[in-house]
């Protein structure tokens, strides 16, 4: 065994070529800088004693890591900001949709309430009209009873009333056709200018009734009341034309149907009705048959 086998080696480890080149470059740069400064300065200048610290690889790596971390943090903050904006936009859109849906529901409820109110008002109006019609019917019935009672009393005293005389003498011929047609239209609607078959005005109904007897009358009430022969209200016969106003300028006409009653298209509220002469006494009458 060699006597130097246990002596540790004092040789320094070899440095890599790249590290040696780096250090040489750095040293050369420093020496070059000092040399240029010495040559440019005056001969009497003092030697440069300032030491220039060069950045080490460790500090460069730390700075790079810090920059990368700062960039990542900024990117993360920007991403969080965009996410927050997206959430706010989604929340605003959802709120707008809910508000629109709530408004549509409120409008629907308001329309339903309005329709229900209109229906109730229509029913109330119809009920009031039915009540008025029933009251008028009751009044007409009472008047008819009173007229019949008066007629009965007159007959007992020897004088025959108009209604009693008409009851004893049945309506026949053209008058019967006119009366039957007029009574068949009771309940139809009143429409200004109406000539049937389900709605009439006063002169339209009279004209259509006389057409059943093959008699053509003028269309308007004033001309109709100017036809035929003037008769008194105490000498009426079924089929006579009653008028309201002056004979040549009447504003309403109807047909006398006997028994002290007439049929006429009164107005939009009542339509075609059968009424007692006492309910609305006419101004006069004409006989066309």
Q: What is the pLDDT of residues 42-51, one digit of tens each?
A: 444 455 455 5
Are 252 and 145 found together in one domain? Answer: no
Are 115 and 164 members of one domain?
A: no
CB atoms within 10 A of CB 246: 13
Residue among 276, 2, 4 at smallest CA distance from 145: 276
Number of domains the chain contains: 2
| One domain, residues 166 and 132 | no
The CA angle 209-212-217, to the nearest 5 degrees, is 60
Whether 116 and 180 share a structural domain: no
Pairing assessment for the beta strands 241-245 and 250-258 based on DSSP bridges: antiparallel
Query: How would residue 223 be classed by pLDDT, with cut points 50, 70 and 90?
Result: very high
43 part of a folded domain: no
pTM of the model: 0.45
What percent of the chain stands above pLDDT 90? 39
277 and 169 in a common domain: yes
Boundary (domain end) residue, out of 106, 141, 158: 158
Per the domain annotation, does 127 fall within a domain?
Answer: yes
Strand partners, 262: 256, 275
In a domain, 140, yes or no: yes
**16 inside domain:** no
Contacts of 162 (CB under 8 A, 6+ apart): 151, 234, 235, 236, 260
> Could you tell me which of 267, 241, 283, 280 has the C-alpha nearest to residue 143?
280
> pLDDT (tens digit, 9 = 90+) per residue, 108-138?
888 888 887 877 777 667 666 665 665 555 5
Q: Read off the pLDDT of each residue in 8-20 and give the average, rounded to a whole number.
A: 51
Q: Which of 83-87, 163-167, 183-187, 227-231 has the lowest mean pLDDT?
A: 163-167
pLDDT category, 84, cuts 50, 70, 90? confident
Collect all residues with Cβ–Cβ distance below 8 Å to 167 and sequence separation of at least 6.
258, 259
Q: Note the pLDDT of residue 154.
A: 40
136, 158, 180: which is the final residue of a domain? 158
* 223 and 280, same domain (yes or no): yes
Which range marks the domain in which residue 273 is found? Answer: 160-287
Domain boundary among 158, 184, 216: 158
Question: Who contacts 252 (Cβ-Cβ below 8 Å, separation ≥6)?
Answer: 202, 221, 243, 244, 245, 264
């Amino acid at each position: 065994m060699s006597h130097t086998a246990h002596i540790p080696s004092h040789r320094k480890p070899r440095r890599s070529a790249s590290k040696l080149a780096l250090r040489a470059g750095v040293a050369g740069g420093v020496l070059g800088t000092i040399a240029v400064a010495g040559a440019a300065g005056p001969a009497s200048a003092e030697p440069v004693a300032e030491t220039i610290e060069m950045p080490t690889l460790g500090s460069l790596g730390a700075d790079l890591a810090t920059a990368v971390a700062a960039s990542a943090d900024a990117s993360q903050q920007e991403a969080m900001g965009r996410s927050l904006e997206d959430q706010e936009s989604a929340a605003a859109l959802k709120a707008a949709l809910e508000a629109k849906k709530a408004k549509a529901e409120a409008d629907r409820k308001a329309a339903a309430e309005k329709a229900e109110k209109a229906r109730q008002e229509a029913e109330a109006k119809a009920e009031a009209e039915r009540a008025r019609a029933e009251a008028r019917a009751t009044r007409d019935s009472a008047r008819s009873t009173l007229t019949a009672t008066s007629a009965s009393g007159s007959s007992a005293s020897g004088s025959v009333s108009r209604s009693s005389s008409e009851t004893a003498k049945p309506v026949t011929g053209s008058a019967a056709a006119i009366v039957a047609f007029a009574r068949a239209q009771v309940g139809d609607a009143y429409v200004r200018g109406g000539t049937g078959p389900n709605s009439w005005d006063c002169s339209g109904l009279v004209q259509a009734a006389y057409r059943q007897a093959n008699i053509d009358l003028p269309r308007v009430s004033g001309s109709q009341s100017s036809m035929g022969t003037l008769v008194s209200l105490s000498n009426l016969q079924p089929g006579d034309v009653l008028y309201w106003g002056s004979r040549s300028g009447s504003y309403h006409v109807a047909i006398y149907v006997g028994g002290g009653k007439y049929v006429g298209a009164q107005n939009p509220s009542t339509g075609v009705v059968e009424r007692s002469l006492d309910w609305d006494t006419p101004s006069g009458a004409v006989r066309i048959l």
